[in-house]
């Protein structure tokens, strides 16, 4: 899948062709873009200029259905020939500038003398499934950028309603209309009128342009075209247009300034629409954040209620544990007292049993002695009164 990825490198727009695997994720694509742009920036870096690694702050894709830039969030938004733009973090070394997107081209290192020997720079250190092949080897790479989706993006700032022409700000515009040279004005106007990129202006394109910009009737417009078409081919070459501008300096100057005015109006309208869309996006995002905050607040209240209930339950359990501990202490105290009392009773009972045994032994000894006494007395003939035992 062939994509166009544009970014600012050293105050200039660089729009590169990049061939990627359709199965690559957005995160993998961002990593690939960073490596490709980092290699490109290294080759384009001016002398003594601070080198900073390329990083992506925000990656957007041009949606050719609604004709606006949107954030790239998943690879389902990608398709062959789509245009991406990588915004970098704004630092003292980098600031994005407002300029037209140039036509996409292969990376510079693909034409670098060491390209064959050094290998494919943007594939170094990358998973092989990200890259489906170098854009330089793609036989239809140039043709694919005429895809309607990309054309809608490149031509989104068209100067004429219903016209196929696109606005391409050239050196004359970027220099400043008042400071532009005649050659810059001629080149700017010729490039704008040459809607097919053939290097020559047809009568319909030439007349349509002038009719849009100056108040001249069709017969005079045809006269101007015939005056420019010196070789009567029905086409005006750039050399013929240059001669026409010298022959009609007022007409060419007025056309140039009105074209620049139209571009300014168109650009402001685009910026206004972009600002309005961004405002709507920000508002929606703000609403989403507000709704999320409300949801989180509700969740917080629920969690606080659960926490309060858990704290109350914890306090109740603490009281129960303390009560049980007090009861256990009391029971252990009573058990200790009872053990002592039981021990005393058992010892007393044992002592009583010992006393009874001693008493029985004394009675037995007395009985034995009494019997011996009686027997002794009887043998001696001594009477002994009867004893009751």
pLDDT band of residue 55 (cuts 50, 70, 90) is very high
- Give the model confidence (pLDDT) of 115-157 as tens digits: 443 333 334 333 444 444 433 333 333 333 433 333 323 333 3
| Residue 112: predicted pLDDT | 55
Which runs of consecutive H residues, i.e. helices, occur in 248-385? Answer: 249-379
CA nearest 123: which of 142, 109, 141?
109
CB 88 within 8 A of CB 7: yes
Residue 103 has pLDDT above 80, yes or no: yes
Report, as an integer, the average pLDDT of 43-61: 86
Residue 83 has pLDDT above 50, yes or no: yes
State the average pLDDT for the chain. Answer: 79
- Give the model confidence (pLDDT) of 229-279 as tens digits: 999 999 999 999 999 989 888 888 888 888 777 777 767 777 788 888 888
Distance CA 175, CA 185 (A): 10
CB 6 within 8 A of CB 85: yes
| Radius of gyration of the CA atoms of the chain, in A | 52
| Residue 385: predicted pLDDT | 53
Q: Tell me, what DSSP letter sits at residue 287?
A: H
Report, as an integer, the average pLDDT of 302-308: 95
CB 8 within 8 A of CB 44: no
Sign of the torsion angle spanned by Cα atoms 15, 21, 22, 23: negative
Does residue 265 or residue 46 have the better pLDDT? 46
Beta bridge pairs of residue 5? 16, 84
Burial 158-178 (b: 16+ CB within 10 A, else e): bbbeeeebbbbbbebbeeebe
Distance CA 183, CA 71 (A): 40
| Residue 328: predicted pLDDT | 93
| Residue 92: predicted pLDDT | 67
CA nearest 27: which of 83, 85, 80, 73?
73
Distance CA 124, CA 138 (A): 20
Residue 5 has pLDDT above 60, yes or no: yes
Reduced to 3 states (helix: H, G, I; strand: E, B; else coil), residue 127 is: coil
Ranges 4-8, 41-45, 112-116, 379-383: which has the least confidence: 112-116
CA nearest 83: which of 53, 103, 113?
103
CB 30 within 8 A of CB 85: no
CB 54 within 8 A of CB 37: yes
Which tokens go with 270? 């685009």
pTM of the model: 0.35
Report, as an integer, the average pLDDT of 328-332: 93
Distance CA 360, CA 173 (A): 141
pLDDT band of residue 298 (cuts 50, 70, 90) is very high
Distance CA 69, CA 219 (A): 43
């Amino acid at each position: 899948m062939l994509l166009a990825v544009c970014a600012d490198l050293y105050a200039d727009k660089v729009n590169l062709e990049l061939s990627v695997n359709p199965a690559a994720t957005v995160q993998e694509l961002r990593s690939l873009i960073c490596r490709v742009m980092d290699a490109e920036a290294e080759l384009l870096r001016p002398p003594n200029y601070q080198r900073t690694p390329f990083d992506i702050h925000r990656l957007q894709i041009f949606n050719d259905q609604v004709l606006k830039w949107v954030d790239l969030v998943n690879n389902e938004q990608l398709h062959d020939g789509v245009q991406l733009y990588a915004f970098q973090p704004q630092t003292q070394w980098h600031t994005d500038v407002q300029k037209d997107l140039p036509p996409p081209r292969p990376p510079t290192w693909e034409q670098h003398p060491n390209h064959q020997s050094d290998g494919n720079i943007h594939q170094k250190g990358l998973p092989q499934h990200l890259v489906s092949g170098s854009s330089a080897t793609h036989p239809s790479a140039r043709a694919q950028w005429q895809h309607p989706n990309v054309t809608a993006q490149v031509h989104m700032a068209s100067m004429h309603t219903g016209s196929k022409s696109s606005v391409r700000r050239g050196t004359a515009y970027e220099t400043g209309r008042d400071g532009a040279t005649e050659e810059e004005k001629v080149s700017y106007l010729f490039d704008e009128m040459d809607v097919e990129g053939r290097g020559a202006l047809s009568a319909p394109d030439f007349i349509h342009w002038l009719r849009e910009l100056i108040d001249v009737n069709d017969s005079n417009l045809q006269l101007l075209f015939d005056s420019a078409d010196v070789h009567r081919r029905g086409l005006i070459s750039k050399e013929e247009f240059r001669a026409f501008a010298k022959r009609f300096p007022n007409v060419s100057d007025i056309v140039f300034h009105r074209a620049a005015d139209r571009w300014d109006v168109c650009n402001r309208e685009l910026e206004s629409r972009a600002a309005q869309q961004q405002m709507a996006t920000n508002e929606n995002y703000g609403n989403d954040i507000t709704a999320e905050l409300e949801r989180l607040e509700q969740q917080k209240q629920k969690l606080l209620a659960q926490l309060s209930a858990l704290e109350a339950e914890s306090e109740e359990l603490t009281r129960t544990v303390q009560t049980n501990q007090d009861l256990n202490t009391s029971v252990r105290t009573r058990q200790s007292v009872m053990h002592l009392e039981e021990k005393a009773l058992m010892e007393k009972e044992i002592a009583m049993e010992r006393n009874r045994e001693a008493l029985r032994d004394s009675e037995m000894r007395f009985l034995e002695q009494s019997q011996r006494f009686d027997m002794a007395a009887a043998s001696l003939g001594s009477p002994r009164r009867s004893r009751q035992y």
